[in-house]
Amino acid sequence: MPSSLSIMVAATLTLLTPSCTATQPPAPAEAGEVVFEGGLQELLPHHDGDQLVHRTQREGRTSVTVERITAKDGGDFILDTTLDGKAIGRMHWRDDGAAILLVSETFLDGNFLVYSPPLVYLRTPVRNGVLQSNAKIQVVRISDSKVLATGSAEQKMAVKQAASPPGSRDIEVRMERDIRLSKGPFHLVSTIRITPGIGEVAADSTLNGSIAIHSELLCATIGGRRIGDCGDMLPAK
């Protein structure tokens, strides 16, 4: 998910990764029709070296974000995001074979959030319905790993088959995440469109009901395959 999450948090805060934490079994979704039976790589690509370029718009300003994937052992992978060439965030994800999980993300200047257990993004097979997950949070300073604060997170992922165009395989996800910390609550809402085989192609997000950002995919390199053409914006590795 990731451009929408990284960009939204960076709009008011800033975002790195910690060591791994224990995974949680995905919370069961409400019973619903299966809308996708493929692999997790098709929903959130995470081959080593994958790159995705998005156009983002906020308050009349248009920017370019680039997401780069670094694969780790055990299904873990890191998603680094730049905004107009400036690093703005890092997210630590995990593919446990059944679900995509968010382990941690950078938050505030020089700190990161660690979710325990990790938050569920999507699981396969994907069904119409709602995935819910809850986690304890630690705010950890990057420089010395000191725990600065604790809190909690609650997340709901409402999933459905995209209604248009007719026959589309796209998936729509409405994510609501509430983060409660001593500095105050943060309420993030993102409506995300996922094209299997590519991942997130468009998203509309708000933070605390005010800051609004729209993003759309321009081009990508996924598993060595080029999608779209961004010229020199997506250099070969």
More confident: 212 or 233 = 212
pLDDT reading at 13 higher than 50: no
Q: What is the pLDDT of residue 230?
A: 78
Which pair of structure tokens corresponds to residue 131? 């995935």
Top CATH class, 2-229 = mainly beta
d(CA 44, CA 52): 11
More confident: 9 or 49 = 49
pLDDT per position as a tens digit, 153-194: 999 999 999 987 887 899 999 999 999 998 788 999 999 999
Q: What is the pLDDT of residue 120?
A: 95
Average pLDDT, stretch 108-119?
90
More confident: 237 or 153 = 153
pLDDT reading at 237 higher than 80: no
Average pLDDT, stretch 207-213?
86
> What is the CA 192 to chain-centroid distance, rounded?
10
Q: What is the pLDDT of residue 201?
A: 95
Long-range pairs for 158-166: beta carbons < 8 A, 24 or more residues apart: 158/129, 158/130, 159/29, 159/32, 159/35, 159/122, 159/126, 159/127, 159/128, 159/129, 159/130, 159/131, 160/35, 160/128, 161/33, 161/35, 161/128, 162/193
Q: Tell me the torsion sign for CA atoms 72, 76, 82, 87.
A: negative
Q: What is the pLDDT of residue 32?
A: 84
Longest dimension (CA), the chain: 53
Specify whether the CB–CB gap between 80 and 87 falls below 8 A: yes
pLDDT reading at 90 higher than 80: yes
Q: What is the pLDDT of residue 124?
A: 93
**Residue found by looking up tokens 């949070």 in the block:** 137
pLDDT reading at 202 higher than 70: yes
| pTM metric for this prediction | 0.86
pLDDT per position as a tens digit, 15-60: 333 334 444 444 444 458 999 999 999 999 999 999 999 999 988 8
